[in-house]
Chains A and B, each alone.
Chain A
Amino acid sequence: MFRISSFLLQSNASWLLASDKIYAVMTIILLILGGMVVLLVRTDRKLKSAESRMNEIEQLAKQVNK
């Protein structure tokens, strides 16, 4: 059995439907989210390579100090 929310049981409940403006807003927000995710993934990769390079530098520095 489906659980029916109390709101639906009210006879005068009206529904909010998506309109044209909402689709335009959604497109803009999705573009922003997509751009942000791309930026985060790129930063993640760049950091990973920087971390591995830093490990090498640390090894070199240890050798120099010896």
Chain B
Amino acid sequence: MGKWIYKIMGVLLLLYGLIYGLTASLPELPLLQQSSRSVFYHVPMWFSMVVLMGISVVYSIRHLRAIDPDSPKPALARRYDAGAVSAAQVGIMFNALGLLTGMVWSRVSWGENTPSSAFSAWWVWDPIQVCALIAFLIYLAYFLLRSSFTDGETKGRVAAVYNIFAFATLIPLFFIIPKMLPGLHPTAEGEGNVIFDKSKMSNEYRMILYPTMVGFIMLGIWVFELMFRTQRLRYRAESISADLSYENSIEQFSTQTPS
């Protein structure tokens, strides 16, 4: 039952965020109109992504410690690698959802007078938009890198090292570069064209945003847990079949070899 508590909490928080976020009477913001409700569903994607990438990098570090020749628990290395890849998979899904929700919001707030067929209606090359896309590509490269190795041990080791550097790039990409450049996001440097100034965001918005954010993070952890368990099952099945085939080959060898 204990394992279900965070899942139930997550679903309840999401229900609250969806129902109250879409129906509550909120202070009107200039230009944004009803699209200001998007903040409840766009911003949590990025926080969930950072949390999941954080989980992934922790598993990568544990993997590297487990494969150390002096490690007391080398058998756990594969398990930690499974955790790292599963968390990164869910994290990149949130990254993609963040980009998509951002594009839809951008279409109705920044590209209102631009025809839908125009690329600029959906993508305005805002610094944080570009940084988010770069982060997406960096993590896509992580999966490409993994798929380029056939040996499980090398794959785990190289991918774990890459993952640490990939996570380190998230810090300048999301927390430093966008704050140094002028842009349309609330995190941009200077006043700019910011409509949704987070320092002026009223409590009515915060009361919905923060619980929804926790709800999305819990949902992400739930999906991660399921993917992690699936990956571990696959590894366990592989190791059983490897053990059995090894035993069979020894048996065949002993029967074929004349005594």
Contact = CB atoms under 8 A, between A and B. Distances in A.
Interface of A: 3, 5-8, 13-19, 21-23, 25-26, 29-30, 33, 37, 40, 43-44, 47, 50-51, 54, 57-58, 61, 64-65
Contact of A47 (B29, B202, B230, B237): B230
A40 B223 contact: yes
B28 interface: yes
A5 B34 contact: no
A7 to B, nearest CB: 4
B108 interface: no
In the complex, the 5 A-B pairs of residues with the closest C-beta atoms, listed nearest first = A7-B202, A18-B23, A7-B27, A26-B22, A14-B28
Interface stretch (B11-19, B87-95, B136-144, B181-189): B11-19
B26 A15 contact: yes
Nearest to A65: B247
Interface of B: 7, 11, 14-15, 18-19, 22-29, 33-34, 36-37, 202-204, 222-223, 226, 229-230, 233, 236-237, 240, 243-244, 247
B226 A47 contact: yes
Contacts of B33: 16
B1 to A, nearest CB: 13
Contacts of A54: 233, 236-237
Contacts of B230: 47
A64 to B, nearest CB: 7
A58 B222 CA distance: 26
Which of A5, A8, A22, A58 has the largest count of B CB atoms less than 10 A from its CB? Answer: A5
B22 A18 contact: yes
A33 B247 CA distance: 48
B13 to A, nearest CB: 11
A8 B120 CA distance: 36
Contacts of A61: 240, 243-244
Contacts of B11: 33, 37
A53 B23 CA distance: 46
Contacts of A50: 233
Contact of B23 (A7, A15, A22): A22
